[in-house]
Amino acid sequence: MSEVETDHEENNSLQLNNAAVERHLQGDIEGAVALYEKALAQDPDSATVLNNLGYLHAQQQRYDEAISLYRRALAQEPHRVTALANLGGALAAQGDVSAGIAKLRQAVDLEPENTTNLDNLARLAMADGQLVLAAQAWQAACELDVTAERLTTLGSVTAAQGHLADAADILRQATQLAPRDARTWAQLGVVLFSRHDFGSATEVLRRALAIDPDNLSARRHLCLTFIARADRVAAQKELKHILAIQPDNVESLVDLALLVLDQGGSTEAAEKLELANRIEPGNTRTRFYLGVARLQTGDRAGACALLEEIAAGADKYAARAEQTLAQVA
């Protein structure tokens, strides 16, 4: 009799859990919480309900409650993969990325064919600077289910480790799977640029921009490729396109100002650098070149005041400011 009543209670708890999941999927958070709590009143040790309620709380960024529930679920079922993975995500979201990685590694060890957990492990490892682990996880995910997105991220992390030839090969595979994915072409172009293969980089980056003209990464690296090839006119054209899309892009404003300055346009360059300095007042690179431009426009007092401030700092532009001041002393 007791077993029948227990079975009845478990079935009722399961029904309440399933109803809560439906409410959750419909966006009725309060209704879902109420049903999950009723289910736990029926069966306080249900790992399924504890995990599901924890997941709901995590989505609401109530991580302390979520972590507590996941741990209760794992106390009942220590090898429950979903709860381990969810606990890892919640710990990482709270800032304990190392603990989050450890839990996700446990989940992957228990269920190595779970590509979602491999993806999440790779992302956390990448965020934590563990590039080898990130590459291993994405490689394992690709072996199970290769996609252009996974290959692109694997290529990116491979490039970040300095393995540029391998990264280019991986990214070429990604472009074959997704020939209309501008992000993948752009990433391949960045890698080719880093390899100083400027001809191939130019071709690939142009292909990315033919798909998505507003891809700023592709356009910026195309600009850098033109600068490396001493094609300043083409570089200026790309920078102007970037600024048409994103007028407050300080890096591009400064780069354009330097190209103009190099061609003798000190007044125009100074105006662009003044604008960049207003947008981002603490940018030492901007301020240094603004000082240089002021010198070239004849504003010696304004230039020296700015360069003296920079020289008092501790970054790489401090020494350059000192050298410039010494030259005009």
Predicted confidence (pLDDT) per residue in 290-324, tens digit = 999 999 999 999 999 999 999 999 899 999 999 99
Instruction: Indicate the pTM of the whole model.
Output: 0.82
The 10 Å Cβ neighbour count of residue 314 is 8
Domain 251-329 has CATH 1.10.357.10: no
Three-class secondary structure of residue 53 per DSSP: helix
* pLDDT digits 0-9 by tens, 10-65: 468 888 888 888 888 888 889 989 998 999 998 999 999 999 999 999 999 999 99
The answer to whether the beta carbons of residues 73 and 47 sit under 8 Å apart is yes
Q: In CATH terms, are 180-246 and 251-329 the same topology?
A: yes
* pLDDT digits 0-9 by tens, 110-121: 999 999 999 999
Answer positive or negative: Cα dihedral of 60, 61, 62, 66. positive
Q: Is the pLDDT of residue 192 over 50?
A: yes
In the chain, where the domains are located = 180-246, 251-329
What integer pLDDT is reported at residue 11 of this predicted model?
60
* pLDDT digits 0-9 by tens, 152-168: 999 999 999 999 999 99
What integer pLDDT is reported at residue 329 of this predicted model?
75
Question: 5 falls in which pLDDT band (50, 70, 90)?
Answer: very low
What integer pLDDT is reported at residue 3 of this predicted model?
18
Instruction: Decide which of 3.20.20.70, 3.30.2320.80, 1.25.40.10, 1.20.120.1200 is the CATH code for 180-246.
Output: 1.25.40.10
Compute the distance between CA of residue 114 and CA of residue 107 in angstroms, rounded to an integer. 9
